[in-house]
Amino acid sequence: MDVLLPRFYGMCFGVRDALAAANAHPAPHRVTLFGELVHNEQVNSRLAERGFRAQPEGERSLPTTPEVLITAHGVSDRERARLESAGLTIVDTTCPLVRSAHAAARKLDAEGRFVVVVGRADHVEVRGLVGDLSRFVVIAGAQEARRYEADAIGILSQTTTSPAEFEAAVASVRNHNPQASVSVIDTICKPTRDRQEGLAELLAAVEALVVVGGVHSRNTRELVRSAERAGVRALHVQSAAQLDPTWFVGVRRVGLTAGTSTLPETLDEVYQALVALDGIPSRV
């Protein structure tokens, strides 16, 4: 069995840099992680062992440590001000591409537009994106678009939305709102776009796909869904130990990829385990 990897996969620079900042912090016991730094149980338990406190995502009570670490997903300015006015020192690891999405949302809002965000309403990044807006709605995709009481609409997306879903959502908002001038800012991040494109190439070349990533990782589940949409069966695992050899019976070419919160060493372990099942490793 050949094991093929896409051109882009795994941990993005935003998550990697946030993790590096946490790892470099000299006094973890002084810090509360404001939500999950990465959707990866292995990493989160290592951080806990180092002394970081963790506040569950969406939990709004004020941390009791003197410092609070904002994750790569960012928070709204309102939330940042609330933390600062409580006397907390902020360790900010917001990804620069999430900051760009915030700037886009603020621009559309300042133009007086009703803002439509394409993404998952309960995702921490989206809560941060809409937290400073005056009029907005979050839609998961084209099917949730409606007519809005607005003559000017602005559309942007969660950074990890698939480009195809975003395009379909924009078209649907336009169709439902012929009365409105519509301005679109594409805020899908480059690592997400690269990974989707790399995956499309890979899916055309394999019979099955293994996706490595946390159970709560949205982009990992997106990778699985993309494979299924392309008619390629997919196996989602968190580690090499979860590989079931019987799943690969009859498979000659298997693809391997990983979500943005997967550690390179975890991916490597899975890669080695797949290669050990049988065959010669190769890349597309």
Active site residues: 125
Q: Is 12 in the site for ligand SF4 (CB under 6 A)?
A: yes
Residue with Cβ nearer ligand SF4 (4 or 12): 12
Q: Is 93 in the site for ligand SF4 (CB under 6 A)?
A: no
Residue with Cβ nearer ligand SF4 (160 or 196): 160
Distance CA 191, CA 183 (A): 24
- Residue nearest ligand SF4 by beta-carbon distance: 14
Specify the stretch interacting with ligand SF4 by CB under 6 A; choose among 7-15, 40-48, 75-83, 270-278.
7-15
Q: Is 213 in the site for ligand SF4 (CB under 6 A)?
A: no
Residue ranges in 170-209 that form contacts with ligand SF4 under rule CB under 6 A:
189, 191-192
Distance CA 46, CA 184 (A): 40
Q: Is 14 in the site for ligand SF4 (CB under 6 A)?
A: yes
Instruction: Phi first, then psi: give them for residue 256, nearest 5 degrees.
Output: -135, 130
Torsion of CA 138, 196, 37, 74, to 10 degrees: -40
Strand partners, 55: 34
Q: Least separation, in Å, of the C-beta of 130 and ligand SF4? A: 16
- Give the chain's end-to-end CA distance (angstroms, integer): 14
Q: 244 exposed, middle or buried (CB, 10 Å; 0-12, 13-18, 19+)? A: exposed
Residue with Cβ nearer ligand SF4 (176 or 193): 193
Distance CA 27, CA 59 (A): 23
**H-run or E-run covering 172:** helix 163-176
Residue ranges in 237-276 that form contacts with ligand SF4 under rule CB under 6 A:
260
Residue with Cβ nearer ligand SF4 (101 or 153): 101
Task: List interacting residues with ligand SF4 (CB under 6 A).
Answer: 12-15, 72, 95, 97-98, 159-160, 189, 191-192, 260
